[in-house]
Amino acid sequence: MPDPVPDPSRERETRKHGDRLLVSLARGPRAPLAVVAAASLASSAAVLVLPAVLASAVDEALTGREPRTATVCLILVLALTACAEIAGMLAGAAATASATSSLRVRLTAHLLSLDIAETRRSPTGELVNRLVGNTATAGRVPVTLVGIATGLVTSVGGVVALFVIDWRVGLTFVAGAPAAVALIRVFVERVSDLYDDYQGAQGRLAARLTDALAGIRTVRASGSADREITRILAPLPELSGSGHALWRAQARSVWKIALLLPLIEVAVLGAAGLGVADGRLEPGQLLAAAGYTALGLSFVDQTDALMALAHSRSAARRICEVLGLPVPSAGTRPPPEGPGALSFRGVTVVRENTAPVEDVDLEVPAGSLTAVVGRSGAGKSTLALLAGRLTDPDRGEVLLDGRPLREIDPDALRAAVAYAFERPVLLGGDLAEAVSYGLPAVDREAVREAARAAHVDDVIGRLPEGYGTPADAAPLSGGELQRLGLARALVRRARLTVLDDATSGLDTATEAQVTRTLLEGMRGRTRLVVAHRVATAARADLVVWMEDGRIRARGTHRGLWRDPDYRALFAAAGEASPQDQEDPCPARP
């Protein structure tokens, strides 16, 4: 996801949303968190009792008594501590897994609900980094917060115990503690900003690597691996700089804290030692004061937890940047009864200061085969995406049988509009599931019928496992994949079928067979076909000629062929020669 221009108000808002997200996670898995909290409190109580038990044992030994009671208490305290820590670890792992899982489900659902144009603007590697890495970091927050809370309870308990031993000892501790608190606060604030920079650079590196892997054939064929390595690793100096800055910030704070804590401990022990010398305190209480001083300073041990919290806040902000992307509003109405008439009324789409589709008014007759032609970048694919609401117009309206697509329930719309794409991706367990993807109730015979109509049944039949071949391991060519994608559209038997250059990889003979299916096998259903070949346009009921996002002309192929610019569209692709231009159109069946 490209980094936006810094906007202080937007960054503050994102921070707020990130903190709210972490709070919502902390309210999540209550049962395991309750176990974690109970185990942590039990461990904290045991730790607070331990110095008193040791002091009692020392006093009994110095007075010549057998320290049996103190020994038994010590064993029980240690056993309780061990059991509490084991229970806390197990419950903590369950709570973290649950929080991470719920966050990933929420983020995945949001990503799949985005406008197609929005997902295209977000590099895949960056999204994967946020979905996998950042969610795992944020998912640890509930357990981290419980740990911080119980750590503070332990620290406060240690300070109270010092006052119980002797108020002078307690005041000595309190006099030195604020300096340590100030050091930790400055450190955590600094680290939080550095984590943002580090994770941003990490995400950009992941995005570049994913892009390179997606185009690995081009990289290998062009011999540009060295150049790609340089491009992929371009964010590495920034990543290294942020990492070193983290280490420097930690080093500057650690030596200050390491110098301050012994001074506080020495001061407290000095005050307690004076109390022993004056007879106010027993020797065992001096030992207890040492133990409770360490417990009182245990808030310093929360530095790691606070660093983890800062890391999680940074991760949560990155997740909220994705969750903040607008999701198209879902309609609630069913599509009206109708034959599949499609209307574009004043439709304009704006993408990054350009308009791939601008002021388009178009009526696609019900039951017709309409071909959309034009040069690359003319807006054909955007028009195809608009037809089934895979993207929304910025202005204007798209209607199916007179009802705006925005008003139609998404599930009902998916049943009414089917798609086939230039580069289909096979989703599902095996090839049968890939063809019936999204239609679990479709039986195997319907799948085979659609495959036969797309002229790919014989290809699947030659595979050792046939329709049971794993979709991600099927050895299929680009044209065979396109035919499977077409079968996936045909099996839906939708009132409107949109083919976005879905036959470009087919040879001439196979394309003729597929075209016959479009003409005869789908007669009565509306077909919107993005076409680059003259044969498809020649057999269409209506041809829409797009140029620079607008409709330049519409009509029959025979009528448009009189325009030399129209003929040049196909001549440039080798679809027609000057000798063919007199009468290129065979009789339509």
Per the prediction, the chain carries an average pLDDT of 81
Give the separation between CA 456 and CA 449, rounded to whole angstroms: 10
Give this prediction's pTM. 0.71
pLDDT band at 584 (very low <50, low <70, confident <90, very high): very low
Q: Which of 339, 377, 283 is nearest to 527 (CA)?
A: 339
Q: In which residue are the tokens 């065992």 written?
A: 284
Give the separation between CA 531 and CA 370, rounded to whole angstroms: 9
| Residue-range domains of the chain with CATH | 13-323 (1.20.1560.10), 342-580 (3.40.50.300)
Q: What is the mean pLDDT of residues 517-527?
A: 81
The pair of structure tokens assigned to 175 is 């006099």
The secondary structure of 575-586, three-state, reads CCCHHHCCCCCC
* pLDDT, tens digit, 9 for 90 and up, residues 119-171: 766 667 777 878 888 888 888 888 888 888 888 888 888 888 888 888 888 88
Q: Which helix (H) or strand (E) holds 546?
A: strand 542-547
Q: What is the pLDDT of residue 365?
A: 93
* pLDDT, tens digit, 9 for 90 and up, residues 523-575: 788 999 998 888 888 889 999 999 999 999 999 999 999 999 998 888 755 55
Q: Which one-letter amino acid corresponds to residue 186? A: V
Strand order of the β-sheet with 550-555 is 417-421, 496-500, 526-530, 369-373, 542-547, 550-555
Give the separation between CA 365 and CA 371, rounded to whole angstroms: 12
* pLDDT, tens digit, 9 for 90 and up, residues 298-326: 777 677 777 777 778 888 888 888 888 88
354's CB contacts (< 8 A; 6+ apart) are none
Asked if the model's pLDDT at residue 387 lies above 90, the reply is: yes
Largest Cα–Cα distance in the chain? 121
Q: What is the pLDDT of residue 343?
A: 95
Q: What is the mean pLDDT of residues 92-109?
A: 87
